[in-house]
Amino acid sequence: MRFKWHPRADVAQFTTAVTMPDTPWQDVAMSTPAMNLMAALRSGHSSSPRLTWYGPDSERVELSGRVLDNWVAKTSNLLQDEFDAEPGMSLRLDLPAHWKSLVWALAGWQLGMELVLDGGSADLLATDTPDDVAGAGFDAVVAVPLAALAMRWPGELPAGVVDYAAEVRSHGDVFMAHAEPDAALPALRGPGDGLSHGKLLDGFAKEHDAGVRLLVRAADGLESALADSLGAWNKDGSVVLVHPDVEVTKHLLENERVSGA
């Protein structure tokens, strides 16, 4: 796998990669665009970088298509197995633009869930500030620590809040849905109009050139990061997501071979 913490190069593997057949994703029949996209990420060129994160304190995380799919599969399995998540349920993401929030979005969409980005009500909540929302009427609350190598939440959690970092590792690297999503179900609730799963790539993802290596600024927010990332991945590209506190230097752009800055 390609999971790196810069500048250290000796970090242990965090997930176990699963060998998948290199089948062109266009030939894999799926029920929603998000499921098609996950098939694309784990098939052709699956060892190539698909998501690179630059965070504070010289944090650098690089995920290949296969490893990104592993993270999404584990998160999808956590949602399905522990919280009975299914198509049509809603998932509020109370998270900044971050590589883990992109994983959560893809996991929710893979399950056929509606992502809530406008702070509204939802069945389930994923948050990096669990103390602010505990007991706020959700069926379940999941605390998501944003540090790349966090093995558990740093400190005490409110009663009933699930620790994502501690729980996700025990779930499978391959996801098999208990119920097939319907492309007509709502996929996104945010500041703009709601979209169905069938319209995610045509109506929400931004247009980018084929094979783009796209710079995405986390300061623009999670909704923008999702739209950019979906557009890049849909064109067999990759994403370099940069935290607001990280300076985008000429060296960074050249080192990452960014083509869509």
Q: What is the pLDDT of residues 195-239, one digit of tens each?
A: 999 999 999 999 999 999 999 999 999 999 999 999 999 999 999
Residue 5 lies in a domain: no
Residue 227 lies in a domain: yes
With both helix axes pointing from N to C terminus, report the angle between 65-83 and 33-42 in degrees, rounded to the nearest 10. Answer: 130
- Give the CATH number for residue 53: 3.40.50.12780
Residue 261 lies in a domain: no
Residue 10 lies in a domain: no
Residue 53 lies in a domain: yes
Tokens 């370099």 found at: 240
Burial class of residue 44 in the structure, from the number of CB atoms within 10 Å of its CB (0-12 exposed, 13-18 middle, 19+ buried): middle
Query: Quick one: which of 238, 224, 165, 214 has its CA closest to 192?
Result: 224
Query: Quick one: which of 55, 123, 6, 220 has its CA closest to 115?
Result: 123
Average pLDDT along the chain: 86
Number of domains in the chain: 1
Sorted by sequence, the CB contacts under 8 Å of residue 138 that are 6+ apart come out as 92, 122, 123, 124, 125
Residue 221 lies in a domain: yes
| Domain span including residue 225 | 25-256
Helix boundaries (H) for the chain: 33-42, 65-83, 99-111, 130-133, 164-168, 222-234, 250-256
Query: Quick one: which of 136, 153, 147 has its CA closest to 98?
Result: 147
Strand partners of residue 195:
188
pLDDT digits (tens, 9 = 90+) for 143-198: 999 998 899 999 999 999 999 999 999 999 999 999 989 999 999 998 766 899 99
pLDDT digits (tens, 9 = 90+) for 41-70: 887 678 999 999 999 989 999 999 999 999
Query: Quick one: which of 229, 238, 231 has its CA closest to 211?
Result: 238
Residue 19 lies in a domain: no
Residue 12 lies in a domain: no
